[in-house]
Amino acid sequence: MNLIIGATGLLGSEICRRLAGQGDAVRALVRDTSDPGKVAELKGLGVELLRGDLKNPESLKAACRDVSAIISTASSTLSRQAGDSIETVDRQGQLDLVEAAEGAGVKHLVLMSFPSVDIDFPLQNAKRAVEDRLRRSQMTHTILQPTCFTEVWLSPALGFDLANAKAQIYGDGHNKISWISFQDVARFAVAALDNPPAMNATVKLGGPEALSPLEVVSLAEQSLGKAVVVQHVPEEALRAQLNAATDPLQQSFAGLMLYYARGDVIDMTDTRRAFSVEQLKSVRETFQATV
């Protein structure tokens, strides 16, 4: 049995679809407040639903019972649920999950994280604390560290609005990023199960090509057939936001935007071979499907 934490989220639901599609037994931890439509989709896939919450350690013990592997994608960063925070979900909730999984005899835990960056902010501190605890556990671990999700960072929610031909760029836009589709991240997460190269490994993930945000804008203009209006948020402004913010979530958003501004290029040649993942979805393909 595979347990998915964060199963109603963008990435978690895709992982459930892929596991169910290949005939694997899947259990999803869902909350009473989870989107009913997303819960219904999971049920339609044949996923076993178990009510619980990362903030409820007892529910985690029940969820881990008779489970051989866990994939945890949960994060508070996009949550609007009462009581969710970086401390309660990304740190303590995930630490409690590791504890519960270890106690239940789970063999393998796949944790979704992100690459290390030399900036101090709450979300990164939480992720590193959980990674350290997982490495010290008795379980086999796989820590996946994808770069910027194409469908998130190049979306209207973060200022990249193709429909209105507007793009907000963090930094000067010249540093390259190995943008990756959440669908490909899901493929790597599923491929990590029972895959020797993934055992007790920390794996950085990126897409098929590294593009600067300005190069991404050029691709968007080609897809749209018209110019895109670009607005820059300077790194100085992001650092000021990080230093001035008192809310951990706002501090973390500023830290992640600085990570984006600095860029991150990842060579996926060996990783794709080790995980038997061939073609990766490009930014151009994402735009073509959107426009």
HSE-up (13 A, CA, CB side) for residue 44: 8
Give Cβ neighbours of residue 155 (< 8 Å, ≥ 6 apart): none
DSSP E strand boundaries for 52-121: 69-72, 108-112
Helix/strand/coil for 234:
coil
Instruction: Report in angstroms the alpha-carbon separations of 46 from 31, 188, 219.
Output: 18, 22, 39
Residue by residue, pLDDT tens for the chain (291 residues) are: 999 999 999 999 999 999 999 999 999 999 988 889 999 999 999 999 999 999 999 999 999 999 999 999 999 987 667 788 999 999 999 999 999 999 999 999 999 999 999 999 999 999 999 999 999 999 999 999 999 999 999 999 999 999 999 999 999 999 999 999 999 999 999 999 989 999 999 999 999 999 999 999 999 999 999 999 999 999 999 999 999 999 999 999 999 999 999 999 999 999 999 999 989 999 999 988 776
pLDDT at 50: 94
Q: Which of 198, 212, 220, 191 is nearest to 285 (CA)?
A: 220
Q: Which pLDDT score is estimated for 53? A: 94
CA-wise closest residue to 259 among 284, 281, 280, 242: 242
pTM for the full model? 0.95
Please check whether residue 286 is in contact with residue 151, taking contact to mean a CB–CB distance below 8 angstroms: yes
Residues near 18 by beta carbon (within 8 Å), at least 6 away in sequence: 186, 187, 190
**C-alpha angle with apex 169: 167 to 175, nearest 5 degrees?**
130
pLDDT score at 291: 65
Rounded Cα distance between 254 and 261, Å, is 10
pLDDT at 102: 97
